[in-house]
């Protein structure tokens, strides 16, 4: 009732403004050329419907970042871009320093509610339902554009398009105007190199981007870790704290694309090697952890306009991903509990392969309707599981492994941490974009997914877009979404703490939102949205009566409301302001308590200044505030923090070079992310400086 009253009160107060704007202007049709001059021709989005649409007409709340915007803001990693989106906050998991993309207060420790796509293909691991535990980083030089949709998107994208969707579109030959080779170096022995090239021959186009990165990682300090508390209990001195968060990495990324007539072939590799373990698997420091992951994909696409009113798209994809241990995972260090002389060690490794076939068509022969429909198939196969450990049951004897014993290989035995398994999904969807009047457009869609393990789910969406006036569009959005249970949720075994539940069902989301997109002048735009949602059947760990372990179950309910503001304003011919703010109020519907870890307030300001014809300066500041603790954590709420970055780019005329100086956290603020088992929390990166040289040829 509280959420509904708030939502409708704000809506009713805004309606007079909308109506007066409508009466004051002739809005018989949009002047698209005028709006394109404000938004730019690049401000077309496909993520909202699967069809390219002008962003102000898109039936969703979206953001677009082109390669030029990404470069100008000094971004070196995709996280630098995503952190600027209103309502999206990046938490850091102490385990591996994994980025958790938290949309609108929808937080979980593995981040399976945010869907990431590369060229429309999910890169989700079925093992944990996220991008993989060994994510590393994602450089940006191969990226042509990033489209982000806030809110549910399962009617278009299916599973895990829950809190938000991120689609990364890589560069093709048309995006590469000049070949480029570049280097970047700076703090923490960081070295980046990349090569970008493309070309064409008649109807054949080709492009490749190769990126290599190596760094010893920033050296934020952890004074006390989880093992420190164990030492007090057991009278030991095993903790490796004080020590540093381990963020070293070595990575190789390759993206290539070939276009021939109506066919597109893409291939990609994300190779992560010698990656550190963050603050440790369970927040017990281990600077010696080395982990790795390989993600490689291929996709073949056929996209043809068969008749003026009929277009067909077919996509076949293969995606292979792994989570590997290069140097063993010491969960707790040597001397743990006074009996594990080598430490408590467990080395779980996972390999998956995913095959997909998607076929969809768009039909526009019916007046005022654009109908899109299709069907598809997905096979997720976790085909290889390996594990060595020095605890649990020894499969050769059937007896517990004695503390201090050598590592035991439990691969291909009933004592492994999870069995090999697969799941299949068949789906069908239908969407209609109906121009019901000159200034009214209704988008309605429905998708039905059928899974081989947990059953079926159907998710609708409805969006009404009203061209209220020449310079105002109003959107009313409703959608449902689901998050598929991961294999860990359903099938984890031989874990002394957490056990999977084969009867678990998908998480569900229902969302309602109103959006005002106001653009009164060519150099000014404002977007304001208000939303509320209910997140139901949240998969959580619950205690089991008379047992020492927890069981995954559909146990939680969360409701939330919030608002987000965005402004883009060309203050001067040489100065552009981009700013946004987000406010979220999320409540645990069972306990009536505010939800922990949610950044209830976020503010962002960015200034782009063309200092001279050859010099561009970008300054940005991001403030995060009001993050509560878990109810089991008696510490005070986390302190607010503000991080500022600065980049300066010099591109001399008539020379094929570009020089840049990039500074991150330039004021060296001591910012902290929440970590239950680190008394002083998880330190975020301190100041770093990088120099960059690009050469075009």
Q: Give me the CATH number covering residue 597.
A: 2.40.170.20
How much is the pLDDT for 281? 92
How much is the pLDDT for 36? 43
Compute the half-sphere exposure of residue 303: CA atoms within 13 Å on the CB side of its CA: 10
How much is the pLDDT for 171? 98
497 phi/psi in degrees, rounded to 5: -120, -50
Q: How far apart are CA 488 and CA 497, in angstroms?
A: 13
Residue in the block written with tokens 């569900």: 508
Q: DSSP for 447-476, please give it.
A: EEEEETTTEEEEEEEEEEEEEEETTEEEEE
Burial class of 665 by CB neighbour count within 10 A (0 to 12, 13 to 18, 19+): buried
Compute the half-sphere exposure of residue 118: CA atoms within 13 Å on the CB side of its CA: 26
Which residues are CB-neighbours of 55 under 8 A, at least 6 positions away?
Answer: 39, 43, 44, 45, 62, 64
161 phi/psi in degrees, rounded to 5: -80, 70
The DSSP H or E segment spanning 34 is: helix 32-39
User: Residue 576 corresponds to which tokens in the numbers above?
Assistant: 């552009």
How much is the pLDDT for 404? 87
CB 220 within 8 A of CB 248: no
CA distances from 386 to 44, 383, 408, 416, 497 (A): 45, 10, 11, 8, 20
How much is the pLDDT for 44? 87
B/e letters for 390-418, b = 16+ CB within 10 Å, e = fewer, are bbbbbbeeeeebeeeeeebebeeeebbbb
**pLDDT means per 10 residues in the chain (697 residues)?**
41 39 36 41 81 91 96 96 97 95 95 97 96 94 97 96 97 96 97 97 96 94 95 94 95 98 98 95 95 97 97 98 95 94 96 98 97 98 97 94 94 96 98 96 98 97 95 96 97 91 97 95 92 97 90 96 96 96 96 93 97 94 92 90 97 94 97 94 96 97
Which residue segment(s) compose the domain that 334 sits in? 2-696
Q: Domain count for the chain, please give it.
A: 1
216 phi/psi in degrees, rounded to 5: -80, -10
How much is the pLDDT for 222? 96
E strands, 94-175, where?
Answer: 98-103, 114-118, 121-122, 143-150, 164-170
């Amino acid at each position: 009732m509280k959420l509904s009253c708030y939502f409708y009160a704000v809506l009713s107060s805004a309606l007079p403004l909308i109506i007066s704007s409508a009466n004051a202007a002739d809005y018989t049709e949009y002047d698209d050329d005028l709006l394109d001059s404000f938004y730019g021709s690049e401000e077309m989005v496909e993520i909202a419907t699967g069809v390219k649409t002008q962003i102000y007409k898109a039936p969703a709340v979206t953001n677009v970042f082109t390669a030029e915007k990404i470069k100008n803001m000094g971004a070196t990693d995709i996280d630098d871009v995503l952190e600027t989106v209103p309502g999206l906050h990046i938490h850091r998991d102490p385990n591996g320093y994994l980025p958790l993309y938290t949309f609108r207060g929808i937080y979980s420790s593995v981040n399976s509610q945010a869907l990431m796509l590369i060229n429309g293909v999910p890169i989700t691991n079925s093992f944990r339902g996220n991008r993989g535990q060994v994510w590393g980083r994602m450089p940006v030089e191969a990226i042509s554009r990033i489209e982000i949709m806030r809110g549910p998107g399962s009617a278009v994208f299916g599973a895990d398009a829950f809190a938000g969707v991120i689609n990364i579109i890589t560069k093709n030959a048309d995006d590469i105007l000049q070949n480029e080779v570049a280097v970047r170096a700076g703090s923490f022995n960081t070295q980046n190199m990349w090569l970008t090239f493309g070309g064409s021959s008649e109807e054949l186009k080709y492009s490749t981007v190769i990126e290599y990165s190596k760094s010893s990682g920033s050296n934020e300090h952890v004074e006390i870790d989880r093992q420190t508390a164990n030492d007090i209990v057991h009278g030991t001195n095993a903790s490796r704290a004080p020590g540093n968060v381990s963020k070293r990495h070595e990575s190789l990324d390759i993206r290539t694309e070939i276009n021939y007539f109506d066919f597109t072939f893409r291939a990609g590799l994300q190779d992560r090697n010698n990656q550190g373990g963050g603050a440790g698997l369970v927040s017990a420091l281990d600077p010696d952890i080395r982990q790795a992951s390989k993600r490689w994909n291929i996709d073949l696409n056929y996209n043809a306009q068969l008749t003026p009113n009929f277009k067909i798209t077919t996509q076949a994809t293969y995606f292979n991903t792994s989570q590997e241990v290069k140097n063993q995972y010491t969960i707790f260090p040597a001397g743990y509990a006074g009996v594990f002389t080598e430490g408590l060690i467990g080395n779980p490794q996972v390999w998956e392969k995913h095959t997909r076939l998607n076929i969809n068509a768009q039909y526009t022969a019916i007046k005022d309707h654009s109908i899109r429909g299709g069907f598809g198939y997905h096979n997720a196969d976790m085909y290889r599981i390996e594990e060595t450990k020095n605890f649990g049951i020894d499969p050769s004897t059937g007896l517990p492994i004695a503390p201090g014993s050598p590592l035991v290989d439990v691969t291909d035995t009933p004592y492994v941490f999870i069995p090999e398994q697969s799941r299949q999904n068949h789906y069908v969807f239908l969407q209609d974009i109906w121009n019901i009047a000159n200034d009214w457009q209704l988008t309605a869609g429905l998708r039905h997914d059928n899974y081989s393990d947990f059953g079926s789910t159907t998710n609708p969406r409805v969006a009404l877009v009203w061209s209220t006036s020449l310079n105002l569009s109003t959107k009313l959005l409703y959608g449902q979404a689901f998050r598929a249970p991961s294999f860990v949720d359903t099938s984890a075994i031989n874990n002394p703490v957490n056990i999977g539940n084969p009867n678990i069902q998908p998480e569900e989301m229902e969302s309602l939102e109103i959006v005002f997109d106001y653009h009164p002048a060519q150099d000014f735009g404002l977007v304001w949205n208000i939303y509320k949602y209910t997140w139901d059947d949240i998969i959580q760990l619950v205690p089991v009566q008379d047992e020492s372990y927890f069981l995954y179950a559909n146990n939680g309910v969360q409701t939330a409301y919030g608002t987000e503001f965005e402004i883009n304003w060309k203050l001067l011919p040489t100065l552009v302001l981009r700013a946004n703010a987000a406010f979220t109020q999320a409540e645990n519907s069972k306990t009536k308590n505010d939800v922990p870890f949610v950044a209830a307030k976020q503010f962002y300001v960015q200034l782009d200044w063309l200092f001279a014809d050859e010099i561009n300066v970008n300054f940005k500041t991001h403030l995060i505030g009001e993050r509560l603790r878990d109810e089991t954590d008696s510490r005070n709420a986390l302190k607010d923090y503000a991080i500022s970055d600065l980049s300066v780019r010099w591109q001399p005329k008539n020379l094929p070079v570009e020089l840049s100086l990039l500074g991150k956290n330039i004021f060296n603020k001591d910012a902290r992310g929440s970590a239950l088992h680190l008394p002083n929390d998880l330190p975020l990166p301190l100041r770093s400086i990088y120099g960059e040289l690009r050469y075009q040829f």
